[in-house]
Amino acid sequence: MTAPSYSDQQLKSYLDGSFSEEEALVFEDALSRSPELEQRLLALEPLSPLACEAFAAVPSDERLRGLLPSEATQKSPRRVAQLSLVACLAGAIGFALAVFMAPSNDLGWREQIAVYQALYVPGTIASIEHSESDLDLQFVRGSNALGREVRPDMVLGLDGFELRRAQVLQSAQQKIVQIVFAGPEGEPFAFCIVALDGTAQSTDLEFEQLAGVPTAHWVEGDYGYMLVGRVAPHLMRNAAQTLRATF
Amino acid sequence: MPCYAYKGIQLRAPIYSMVDQKKIDRSVRSELENGLKPLWRFAYALSGRADLADDLVQSTCLRALDKANQADLSRALLPWFMTICRSIWLNETRAQAIRRAQSLDTTPDFELISKEAGVETNILSRQVYTMLMALPEAQRSLAVLVFVEGFSYTEAAQALDVPLGTVMSRLHAVRNKMKVAVDGRQKDGMTG
C-alpha cells in the first residue's frame, strides 16, 4: 500500500489541529514511517522560531563548563568511586581500630556515632522493613530512653529519605536513639539523638567529616543531634536544616 | 567493551579495551562539552529552576561519564544525555524539588530571553517563555526538545521514553495552548 502524500497546506492543517481524529491517526501512522514527512512537518512547526527566541540566552559558556567535572577530578568515575570507597573504608577501619583500642570515654558522642555508622553499608538496611505500628513502638521506646518525645511524624518528609527503623543504643556514658533512613540509592543514613548530661552548651548546626563519614550536628538543651551517612551534600544539608527546625 | 573472537571463543583484550575506553571517555566528554547548552535548557525545562538545572546538568555529566562504556558513538549522544537527565530528574531530584517547593509551579524570571532582541520581540518572547514555562512538565520538556533543540518527533519520543503517538498528542496540546502567541505574532507580521 502506498503511503498517502501530503501537501504543505495539509501539513499546516494538521499542525493547526484541523484534521479529524481519523485523519490525524492516518497521518501520524504515515509520519511514523516516513522520516522525510517528519522533517517537512518539523520545518513547518509555527512555534519553533518563537520558542528558540524565548530560550535564546542560557548561562555563559564559562559557567556551563564549570558544571562538567574536570578530567583531573574525574579521570574515571568508576575508579574514583572505587578509590573513595576504599579510602572511606580504610579511614573508618583505622578510626574504628583507634576507637576500640582507646578507652571509650576518650571519644565524644559524635565520634562514637560516626564510627558506628561508618560500618553501615546499603546491605545493612536493605532488608529492614517495619510496619507503621512497629515504628510507633520503636519511637515510644526511643522516647522513654531519651526522656523526651520523638515521634515518626517529626522525622518524616525528609527530602529523598525513607524511614526504616528507630533503635536505642547505649555508649559508656549516654543513651542514643538512632533513627535509620535509606537514601535515594539505598544509602544508610541516620539521625541520632543523644541525651547529654545537662552541662552541654548549645551549639549551632555544623557540618563535619568524622571517621570518614559526613555528619551534621548540633546541641540544643540537654540533647545532642546528629545526622550521619554517605549521602549527597545537598541532601545532608536539606535534611539537617529541616530537622534543626524541629529539634 | 569490545570482545575479540577467536575460533568461536570470546577473548577479552584488556589492554586494547583500556585504550578504547579512554577514547570513549574522551568522546563522551567532548560531546558533553558541546551539548551543555541544550542540556541545560532541557534541565531547566524539566525543573523550572536555574539552580536545579545546574544540579541536574552536573549529575547528568557525572552519570554519562560514568556510563561512557554504554555510549553508542555511532550516533549523536545528546539524546542519550537528555534521557539520563530526565531519568535523574524523575528518580532523584523531582520528588525532592516538589517537597521543597510544595509544587513545581514556575515563576518565570525571563532570564533565558535574549537581551539582544528588540523591545517588541522581547515582549513576545516573554509571553512565549511564560506560556511555555507554565505548561505541565511533560509538555514543557517535550516542547523544548522539539521546538528549541530541533529534535525530531521520533528522537524526542526516544529521549523521553514515550510512544510517538504520545509525543504528537502532547505537541498538539502545546500548539493549542500557544495558539494565542502564534496568532499574535502573525498579526504583527513578524513571521517570515
pLDDT score recorded for residue A79: 52
More confident residue, B8 or A4: A4
- Lowest mean pLDDT, pick from A126-140, A166-180, B106-120, B135-149: B106-120
Residue B10 lies in a domain: no
Residue B127 lies in a domain: yes
pLDDT digits (tens, 9 = 90+) for A172-206: 678 889 999 999 888 899 999 998 877 778 888 98
Are residues B77 and B119 part of one domain? no
Residue B93 scores a pLDDT above 80:
no
Residue B81 lies in a domain: yes
User: Distance from A229 to chain B by nearest Cα, in Å?
Assistant: 17
Residue B15 scores a pLDDT above 50:
no
Residue B42 lies in a domain: yes
Which of B90, B27, B36, B38 is CA-nearest to residue B61? B36
Are residues B67 and B47 part of one domain? yes
Are residues B189 and B126 part of one domain? yes
Probe site for chain B from A16, A27, A41, A47 (most B CB atoms < 10 A): A47
Q: B150 CB near a chain A CB, below 8 Å?
A: yes
Last residue of a domain, one of B82, B105, B128: B105
Are residues B174 and B187 part of one domain? yes
Interface A-B: count of C-beta contacts within 8 A: 143
Are residues B167 and B99 part of one domain? no
Q: B187 CB near a chain A CB, below 8 Å?
A: no
Do residue A28 and residue B164 have CB atoms under 8 angstroms apart? yes
Grid cell listed for A56 = 535564546
Q: Which of B:4-23 have CB within 8 Å of A?
A: none
Last residue of a domain, one of B83, B105, B127: B105
The domain that contains B169 carries what CATH number?
1.10.10.10
pLDDT score recorded for residue A120: 82
Which of B64, B70, B54, B121 is CA-nearest to residue B87? B64
pLDDT digits (tens, 9 = 90+) for A103-123: 444 568 888 888 888 888 888
Are residues B171 and B101 part of one domain? no
CA–CA distance, A230 with A234 (Å, rounded to integer): 12
Are residues B131 and B69 part of one domain? no
For chain B, how many structural domains are there in total? 2
Are residues B128 and B76 part of one domain? no
pLDDT score recorded for residue A198: 74
Among B55, B91, B117, select the one facing A53 at the smallest CB separation. B117
Q: B188 CB near a chain A CB, below 8 Å?
A: no
Do residue B40 and residue A67 have CB atoms under 8 angstroms apart? yes
Residue B9 scores a pLDDT above 50:
no
Residue B4 lies in a domain: no
pLDDT digits (tens, 9 = 90+) for B30-68: 999 999 999 999 998 888 888 888 889 999 999 999 888
pLDDT score recorded for residue B43: 92
Q: Which of A:13-52 have CB within 8 Å of B?
A: 15-17, 24, 28, 31-32, 35, 38-39, 41-42, 45-52
Contacts of A17 in chain B (CB under 8 A): 172, 175-176
What confidence category does residue B103 fall into, taking pLDDT thresholds of 50, 70 and 90? very low
Please count the other Cβ atoms lying within 10 Å of the Cβ belonging to residue A120: 19
Are residues B157 and B100 part of one domain? no
Contacts of B50 in chain A (CB under 8 A): 59
Last residue of a domain, one of B66, B85, B105: B105
More confident residue, B142 or A131: B142
- Lowest mean pLDDT, pick from A26-35, B158-167, B182-191: B182-191
Are residues B94 and B123 part of one domain? no
Grid cell listed for A11 = 501539513
The domain that contains B68 carries what CATH number?
1.10.1740
Could you give the residue ranges of the DSSP H alpha helices within B35-163? 36-47, 50-66, 78-88, 94-101, 119-134, 137-143, 153-160
Q: B157 CB near a chain A CB, below 8 Å?
A: no
User: Distance from B11 to chain A by nearest Cα, in Å?
Assistant: 23
Are residues B140 and B153 part of one domain? yes
CA–CA distance, A150 with A139 (Å, rounded to integer): 6
Are residues B116 and B62 part of one domain? no
Residue B72 scores a pLDDT above 70:
yes
Among B99, B126, B175, select the one facing A17 at the smallest CB separation. B175
In this prediction, the residues of chain A whose per-residue pLDDT falls under 50 are: 77, 80, 98-105
Structural domain including B155 reads: 109-192
Chain A residue with minimal CA distance to B157? A32
Q: Which of B:51-110 have CB within 8 Å of A?
A: 54-55, 57-58, 61-62, 65-66, 91-92, 95-96, 99-100
* ipTM score assigned to the predicted complex: 0.71
- Lowest mean pLDDT, pick from A203-217, B137-151, B159-173: A203-217
User: Distance from A67 to chain B by nearest Cα, in Å?
Assistant: 5
pLDDT score recorded for residue B90: 85
C-alpha distances (whole Å) from B78 to each of A5, B32, B64, B156 are: 31, 8, 10, 11
pLDDT score recorded for residue A228: 94
Do residue A47 and residue B182 have CB atoms under 8 angstroms apart? yes
Residue B2 lies in a domain: no
Chain B residue with minimal CA distance to A82? B66
Residue B169 scores a pLDDT above 60:
yes
pLDDT score recorded for residue B10: 36
Residue B8 scores a pLDDT above 60:
no
CA–CA distance, A17 with B95 (Å, rounded to integer): 34
